[in-house]
Structures are given as C-alpha cells and as structure tokens.
Structure 1
Amino acid sequence: MDLVDELAHVVADSGLTIAVAESLSSGALSSAIGRGEGASEWFAGGVVAYQVSSKHRALGVDADIDPCSARCAMQMADGVRATLGADLAVSITGVGGPEPEDGHAAGTVYIGISSGDAVDAELHEFDGDPAEVISQSVERALTLLVARSKAHAADG
C-alpha cells in the first residue's frame, strides 16, 4: 500500500480532514493527496504560498519570518488548518536548490504539522537536485500525516 492509499484509509475510517500548505513543493503534495480514494470527503484542500508575502496574506505567517525555518513551517501548518477548517494540517517550506539561499543549504526542508492543540516541525536535509528534494519532502510529509492521523484516530 502506498502512502496516499494508507492516508486515505486512515482518515476515511476516522472521519479526519486534512489540509496542506506548500511553498518549496509548489503543489506537489496537494496533487499527490488529491489522488487518494475518496479525497473529496477528507481533503479540505491546500494553499501554495511561495513568497513570504503570500504566506503572510494567505496563512497569517509573520511578515518578517525566515521562510526556511521551523517557525515558518509551524505557522504555515497552523494557518492552513485554521483557514480550511481541517483537523490536521501539514506544511513544507525550505530550499530546493540547486544553490543555497539566504544562508540555508540546498535541500534544507522544514515540515510542519498542526493538529489543533499541538504544532511542531521537523528539519530535514535532503540530497539531490530540486526535483529530488521535492519528491523526498512530499514522501516525508505523507509519512508524517499517516503517523499523526493514526495517533489522532487512536486518541479520538
């Protein structure tokens, strides 16, 4: 079973709704999730906010934030969860490369997750070209969503 199928199964059984906020991945995560069985029932949607000003306007992220930071990833996840009224939300932000940006190495990625009463972020240092960094980021975000969805369903 692939990660999207597993996510679809877990959230459909538990009644959870999912939302995503993307920067680095430019909609790749939303596209992957949208292929899930019954996604119209449990995928609230996604926001692609590439520029910091877009993150601020669409997701309520602080205007002066470092876009490649745990703080940004957490604010993005919280913002999209609140905006779309979802139970769980995940975000991806960072530097895809191929060059470093604003003092951050290419492949530096933060993935945030918000479940209402808890929000946190993970730092990842992925290798490869920009497409490979995006692919690894999407896979890790899906893995995190599956794990958090299972935990949320068990608690609920």
Structure 2
Amino acid sequence: MAAAQRPGAGAGARPVAERVLRLLAERDQTLAVAESLTGGLVAAELTSVPGASRVFLGSVTAYATRLKRDLLGVDGELLARRGAVDAEVALQMARGVRSRLGASWGVATTGVAGPEPQDGRPVGTVYVAVCGPPGGPAEAGKAAALRLDGGRAEIRGESVRSVLELLAHELFENARAKDTEQNGGN
C-alpha cells in the first residue's frame, strides 16, 4: 500500500527533507526556518522525519508583514518599498531566522499562494532563500524566484519542495567550496 501524501506537502518533499537533515547532521550543523506563505509546512515536513531534532532548531511563521520586520529583522523601508513578496525580503528572512534562533543555516519562504494577488504580485509568485553559516561561502545567501501554477495547496507544497531543494544544493556547494579551500584550490 502506498503511503498517503499529507495535504499541502510538495510532491517529493520528504526525500529532500531527509537528505538535508542527514547532510546537516553529518556536518554537525543546525537549521532554522522562516515561513510566510507556507505557514509552517516547511517545519512540518522537516519534523516528519525521525531524528530531525538533532539539527532542526525551530521556525518562525511570520505571516504578517510587521512580524517579518519585528521578529526577523527585515528592513522596514524595504518592506514599504517592495512589499513582502520579494527576493531580498526572503534573504533577510533567512538571515534573520538563522541569527535569531542561533542556527548554522536559515531558510525562508515568501510569496502569493492566492486566491488574490498581493503587493502587485500575481498568484504563484514565490521567493525562497537560504543563508549559510557566518564566515562561510554561503553566508551571503541565495534566493530563487519561482512562478508556480496551480491552486493554493499546490503552490504552497511546491514552495516547500523548492526551498528544501535550494538548501540541498547550497549544502552541496558549501561542502565543495570547503573541500577546494582545504585542498589548496585544486
């Protein structure tokens, strides 16, 4: 009998969650999550994996724009100028949650799941971001813009899978950069 997929979980998110948690555990690193449109689904996906507590510290669901500013340290002028659905906002959310929760890595989601546009952005506009350990090659972070189709549940689920994929990619790149550095750049 096939395992049922939880409502709202992105197709294929569980294997990615397992992979990133394993990589973080192998490196003795930790993870914190800042969520807006996903409303806790990234944290739920991570905590569905047995042993997640070894590396997953927690999350902040900052659905309201003022919470992005007050809890996560997103620049208020940026929010006023561009709105909450923006690549730089996602990066600042990831940095903020990493810093506030004392994690090695921070990830963030912000966007429009619908049914109405927000901040002049159409439904399906999503930004995901990852920020790595201070002093490391991934410290500045990386954001990705997504243009997703489907209903609210599909957009939120794909956002979960996408932010976890971005984290997996950055973990791999971070390890490669460290290996190159340790081996004299060769």
TM-score (norm 2): 0.79
Q: Which runs of 5+ in 2 are unaligned?
A: 1-13, 180-186
Match of 1:60 among 73, 94, 98: 73
Deviations 1:7-47 (A, max 9, x none): 12211111111111000000000110112232111001110
Secondary structure at the residue paired with 2:109? strand
Inter-partner Cα distance in structure 2 for 1:12 and 1:71: 28
Q: Does 1:118 align with 2:140?
A: yes
Match of 1:26 among 39, 44, 60: 39
Structure 2 equivalent of residue 42 of structure 1: 55
Deviations 1:73-114 (A, max 9, x none): 011000000001111111000111122122100000001111
Inter-partner Cα distance in structure 2 for 1:152 and 1:17: 14
Q: 2:33–2:97: 8 Å Cα contact kept in structure 1?
A: yes
Q: Does 1:92 align with 2:109?
A: yes
Secondary structure at the residue paired with 1:2? helix
Quote the sequence identity (%): 38
Q: Which runs of 5+ in 1 are unaligned?
A: none
Asked which structure has the greater CA Rg, the reply is 2
Q: 1:23–1:94: 8 Å Cα contact kept in structure 2?
A: yes
Secondary structure at the residue paired with 1:151? helix
Deviation at 1:153, TM superposition (A): 3.5
TM-score (norm 1): 0.94
| RMSD value, Cα | 1.4
Q: Which runs of 4+ in 1 moved over 3 A?
A: none
Q: 2:32–2:98: 8 Å Cα contact kept in structure 1?
A: yes
Q: How many matched pairs?
A: 156
